[in-house]
Structures are given as structure tokens and as C-alpha cells.
Amino acid sequence: VRSRSIVLRRRPNGLPVTDDFELVEAQLPALGDGAFLARLLSIGPDAGVVSRLREGANYRAGIAIGEVIGSNGVAEVIATRNQDVEVGRLLYGPFGWREHEIRESVDGLFDVDPARPLTAPLGLLGLHGLTAYVGLLEIAKPRPGETVVVSAAAGAVGLIVGQLAKIHGCRVVGITGGPEKARRVVQEFGLDACVDYRAAEFPAQLSELCPEGVDIYFDNVGGDIQDAVVPLFNSFGRFVICGRIALTRLTNMELDVGRRDYNTVLVKELRKEGFLVYSHLHRLREAQEHLWRWHSEGRLELPESIVEGFERLPEAFVGMLAGENIGRRIVHIADPEHR
Amino acid sequence: VRSRSIVLRRRPNGLPVTDDFELVEAQLPALGDGAFLARLLSIGPDAGVVSRLREGANYRAGIAIGEVIGSNGVAEVIATRNQDVEVGRLLYGPFGWREHEIRESVDGLFDVDPARPLTAPLGLLGLHGLTAYVGLLEIAKPRPGETVVVSAAAGAVGLIVGQLAKIHGCRVVGITGGPEKARRVVQEFGLDACVDYRAAEFPAQLSELCPEGVDIYFDNVGGDIQDAVVPLFNSFGRFVICGRIALTRLTNMELDVGRRDYNTVLVKELRKEGFLVYSHLHRLREAQEHLWRWHSEGRLELPESIVEGFERLPEAFVGMLAGENIGRRIVHIADPEHR
């Protein structure tokens, strides 16, 4: 079997471009005893890859020149010499950007429920869903009638946060880049409003859309945007720090960007809390059950943006970093053979 | 009865000096029907007065030229024409910087337990004790073996926080201004260590004194000091924002000083929370019972620094702002007549 993969051709100069990647093809080796062959069905490139492409502080977790890129993917076992892993088994977790991958164990992988959409583990039923679920419901703790602002509202996490906040009776105002994405967030995902942070009148618009102030700010980006949100906080507001997309755009990942909110945190008695989804993996099943139920009831749309074809992974990744899509960008590679 | 009071003579230029205040004497008016005469026994000048002396944004809560300064005090009722308020009753709460004050009601005042030190309501058993109690035990939630860092460790709140953290089994490192205060905090109040933030090697000293990192930072000051603390945080650390003494030193109280900790709050999954003691007044009695018990057991020293004589209030206040004393500065005026 010949199989393609995508490797790092050179280190990006700033944000990655498609020419930083290279499609290579090779013969797969024969399966050794105890190994199994997984065929990738879909891969979800994520922003976390950016820092791993860089040399420097993160180098040990980084990707060397000529090495295969990695992201979460969904795969089907199509051949096996491992008695614990049967053909047809569906798995998701970290995979290379490969059409096929040989593994010796399912450690670090999770089973996929074939009764649900096979892409769901890469978004709503995976780490993005868990991030939104834990960050909003466990850390921010929304109450009906409160106003929730979410940044990167058209992103994979943001779209789930926004919908979860609606389900919990909040007024939800998104922040995103560009008027078209703002429009779609409202029309397709039911947020009350969404503003374009690139607009000159952004702070005034945000303030107008939050006439009763802000109770929760779910921040996926870091950087300057919070300057427009912090002054709107009501007393006892919650500021959840979930991500730092803005920081991935910087070359120096060590830069500890901070904002002038000390006084506000004190006088408004705010709670500002950072969290990493990896500390909450034990709640994945609980999150999946709730999220799937809300989806089944028609209250929670899958936030997916599917691109067709393995070879388009670099293009899909670069476009996602540029903010061109809405929701979780997923590259569909193949359908299961043994389903 | 002639009685003295202290009024604002002119607005301070920067930090207050004693010449900004004036001692005036006047005949007390006769008690009207329903009024009572309280004689001040002690007054605790506090840093919050500083912003009220300034013109500008806080003006409505501010003090006009010629107006009497206000702080918390303990007073004894020495004459009454109010049938609900008997002579000999001991009260504490907001009073003017006066030897005597005429009131028509006890609204906003609390009764003082005569079996306990009469200065205690101005410190350990008052708002300072409640601040330390709520901020440390309720918001920071220390666990035995954790490392707690407290700034303004020799201050009225800081000395209680440090001792409470010791009672709860923590390693406690204070931060204060000057080697003499640092020495006394350790020797007289039992903290494990205390560093002088004015020392050139302060960040390195702090780091050395926290070999297992920092789990809780109880910040009473704001400003630059946190730059030495934030890099030492362990995952799931708690950063309690209780005060902003550093900010009272600035002329522009609107300045929203912030620090570069965004990335750290995210990757260390910190919780940073501001609180105002006024939101927790309903827990005063509970706090008093616990604090008094620990004091009675010899585990919690009263953090008091007594100055004798009403006329020395401005001097005591100015000295306190300069950081010259340790603990709660209290001006003793008189002993009760009817005790």
C-alpha cells in the first residue's frame, strides 16, 4: 500500500503558508506482530500546531523539518496483527497528517461512537466541546438573564460556548473578525448579536449591545480585545481565560501579554480564571452526554466546516489561521470501509 | 462641653502631610430630642481616606475643605435623649475625627463586646479581620502544606492573613517594606519568612524562600510587586486581589494598573479574584467568633500599633501611609467612663 503524508518542509516565517508543508508518498511497511493499520477518515488541524512548528522554547514538543505534522483525527482500523484491536474499530485522538498510520497500541486514543457523526469527536464531542462545557458551565457558571460575551465567537469553541450560554438562558454577544462571520454567528447559531472587532466603532457597538453590562467574558483570544470588554463588567463578573489565539500570531511565545484590569478586578470583585482542557479530561464522557442530548434536541448545532481531500490539509490549516472559516475546520479524507 | 475635631485644611498635593489637617475646637450644641452624645475612645485612620481627600472622580464620596475627616472608631454613649440608646453603650463604626459626636440613631454602627479589647473592633474583630478571614479562607481556600505569599505583610490585614495561613498549616512568606518590619513580622507574628521588596535582590530572595512555588498570593498592594510573585505560581494557584495601597500613592486614581500575567493565568490555570469586604458584612459575626477563638488560644496576635492622644491623629495617619508602623494603627483617645 502506498500512502501519503504531510511533513514540515521549512519553518514558517511568521504565520504558516502552504509552501511550508510538503506532501510526500511512500510505501507502507509490513505490519509487525502486535501492530495495526489505521486509515484516517478525517483530521482536524488546530491552532496549537503553530507553536510546534517554531524553533525555540517549545522545541522539545516541536516538529522537526521533514517530520510529519500532528493533529487530532478519526481513523478506522483496516488491518491488524494485534489481538486486542479488531478491524473496523473506530478511534480518535492524536494522529499524524497521514492517510494511514501504523500503531502498536490504542493508548491515548478513544473509541468513536458509530451512531454519531464521525466528525463529532473532532469538535462538539471532543476537546472543543469539553472546553466550552467546562469553561462556561463549570468555571463561569452562567445564570439565566446574565449577559455573556464570547470572543472568537465563530471559532470551534466559541460557537459552542455561545450556544450553551443561550441554552442556559443568557443574552449572548459574540465578538469575531469580519461582518460576514458576525452575521452567520447570529443567523445560523442563534446568538443575540455579534460584533466585528476590526470595526472602528467596535468598543461603542459592544457597549450598546450589552445595555445591562457584562457578567461573563469567555475569552478565546487574549490581546487587545479585552480592553473593550473589561470596562463593561458588572460586579461579580467572571472572566474565563480559555485561549490565546492572539498570542499564536506573535513570534515570541514567551511574551506574557497582560492588560490593565487590576483595578477593575478589585472594585468589580471579578473572578478571572484560566483553565486548560487537559486538566478536565475525566469529564469528557459527562460532557459528551450533555452536549449530544442538546444536539439531538435541536438546540446545539455542530460547529463544523468541512474541507474535502487529504492533500488540502495545509490549505485548510492556513485558511483557518487566517480566520476564513466558521466553526471547527475538519478535513474529510475517507469514509469507513467496515461500518 | 467643648470638643475638638480635625478637618481638612487643604487638599493634599500627593500623599497627605500633617499640615493638610487642622485641629479645631467648638462648643457642642445641646442634645436635641432623640439624639445621643458619643465620646470617641479610639479611632483607626485608614488608607481609604486618601482618595476621599482628593478632588475629582470620587468627589461625591469625598471630603470638602473644612469638613471633618472620617474613619472607623469606637465610642461610648455618655449622654442620651434617645430612649433606645442607653448611657454606657459601646458602639463602633464610621465616626468623624472628633472627640465627641452627636447622633440620632445607631444605624450603621455595631455594638462592641466589653469583654474583649475595646480596640479589637478596629482591627482583628472588625473589617480588617473580616477582610483577612473572607479573602484567605473563603476566596483563596488554603490547604495544609501550601505556600502562601502575602504583600503588605506588616499591615493590619496582612498580619492577620499571615497568621491565619499559619493556623491552616501553610508555609507563609510575607512581603513588606524595610528589613526591620520584615524581622518583626517573623519574630512577633510567626511567619516563616518575610522579604523587603525594596531590596535589590527581592525577586531572587522571594524565589529562594518559596522553593516549592507559590499556591496563594494575597495581594494588598497592587503595582509592581506582583511581577516577582506571578512567575513563581504553581498550577491552580489563587491570586486574591484585596487592596491597592500602591494605587493610593498615585495621583490619578482612575489609572487601571495591570500586569503582564495573562499567559500565566492561562497556562498555570490560576484563579485571580478581587473582592471588597463590604460584600461580606453578613459574615462579620462568624468571622469574629473564629478570630476571637484563635486569639484566645494564643495562635493569633492582635495586630495593633497604638498612638496616644486625639491631637496626634494626623501624624498617626501620615506615618501609617509612609509605612512606618506594623499592624493596625489606632489612636487612643479616652477610656470608657461607664464600663
Strand boundaries in B253-327, DSSP class E: 271-274, 304-308
Size of interface A-B (CB pairs under 8 A): 102
Q: Which residues in chain B have their CB less than 8 angstroms from residue A241's CB?
A: 262, 265-266
Does the CB of B282 have a partner CB in chain A at under 8 Å? no
- How do residues A233-244 score in pLDDT, each as one tens digit? 999 999 998 865
Question: Tell me, what's the pLDDT at B51?
Answer: 78
Does the CB of B134 have a partner CB in chain A at under 8 Å? no
Whether residues A272 and B272 touch (CB distance < 8 A) is answered with yes
Distance, in Å, from the CA atom of B277 to the CA atom of B134, rounded to the nearest integer, reads: 8
Q: How far is CA B270 from CA A23, B124, B128, in A?
A: 41, 29, 25
Tell me the pairing of strands B147-151 and A21-27: unpaired
Distance, in Å, from the CA atom of B252 to the CA atom of B14, rounded to the nearest integer, reads: 10
Question: Tell me, what's the pLDDT at A257?
Answer: 43
Question: Tell me, what's the pLDDT at B61?
Answer: 67
ipTM over 0.90: no
Question: Tell me, what's the pLDDT at B260?
Answer: 61
Does the CB of B281 have a partner CB in chain A at under 8 Å? no
Question: Tell me, what's the pLDDT at B227?
Answer: 83
- Which residue, B20, B12, B5, is CA-closest to B315? B20
A57, A254 in Cβ contact below 8 A?
A: yes
Place of cell 492622644: B309
Q: Which residues in chain A have their CB less than 8 angstroms from residue B242's CB?
A: 266
Distance, in Å, from the CA atom of A225 to the CA atom of B281, rounded to the nearest integer, reads: 35
Q: How confident is the model at residue B253 (pLDDT cuts 50, 70, 90)?
A: very low
Quick one: closest CA in A to B238, which residue?
A273
Give me the phi and psi of B36, to 5 degrees please: -140, 160
Q: Is the dihedral of CA B311, B315, B320, B325 positive or negative?
A: negative
Quick one: closest CA in A to B248, which residue?
A263
Q: A1: distance to nearest CA of chain B, Å? A: 42
Count of CB atoms within 10 A of residue A15's CB? 14
Distance, in Å, from the CA atom of A22 to the CA atom of B286, rounded to the nearest integer, reads: 67
Question: Tell me, what's the pLDDT at B42?
Answer: 98
Tell me the pairing of strands B193-196 and B214-219: unpaired
B80, B104 in Cβ contact below 8 A?
A: no
Question: Tell me, what's the pLDDT at A245?
Answer: 55
A148-183 as b/e: b if 16+ CB within 10 A: bbbbbbbbbbbbbbbbbbbbbebbbbbbbbbeebbe
Cell of B51: 482618595
Distance, in Å, from the CA atom of B135 to the CA atom of B274, rounded to the nearest integer, reads: 9
End-to-end CA distance of chain A: 21
Mean pLDDT of A58-86: 89
Percent helix, strand and coil across chain A, each rounded to 5? 30, 30, 40
Quick one: closest CA in A to B254, which residue?
A263
Does the CB of A227 have a partner CB in chain B at under 8 Å? no
B125, B66 in Cβ contact below 8 A?
A: no
Quick one: closest CA in A to B266, which residue?
A274
Distance, in Å, from the CA atom of A17 to the CA atom of A1, rounded to the nearest integer, reads: 30
Among the partner residues A247, A265, A267, nearest to B263 by beta-carbon distance: A247
Average pLDDT, chain A: 90
Q: How far is CA A216 from CA A213, A240, A271, A275, B282, in A?
A: 9, 8, 10, 15, 25
Place of cell 523587603: B196
Count the alpha carbons within 13 Å of A226 in the hemisphere toward its beta carbon. Answer: 29
Share of chain A above pLDDT 90, in %: 76
Q: How far is CA A67 from CA A44, A97, A292, in A?
A: 18, 10, 36
Among the partner residues B247, B256, B267, nearest to A261 by beta-carbon distance: B256
Q: A276: distance to nearest CA of chain B, Å? A: 7
Question: Tell me, what's the pLDDT at A56?
Answer: 60
Among the partner residues B257, B269, B273, nearest to A260 by beta-carbon distance: B257
Q: How confident is the model at residue A246 (pLDDT cuts 50, 70, 90)?
A: very low
Helix (H) or strand (E) holding B294: helix B284-296
Average pLDDT, chain B: 90
Does the CB of A275 have a partner CB in chain B at under 8 Å? yes
Q: Is the dihedral of CA B228, B231, B233, B237 positive or negative?
A: positive
Cell of A263: 483595578
- How do residues B152-195 score in pLDDT, each as one tens digit? 999 999 999 999 999 999 999 999 999 999 999 999 999 999 99
Is the pLDDT score of A59 beyond 50?
Answer: no
Is the pLDDT score of A81 beyond 70?
Answer: yes
- How do residues B62-87 score in pLDDT, each as one tens digit? 888 999 999 999 999 999 999 999 99
Does the CB of B57 have a partner CB in chain A at under 8 Å? no
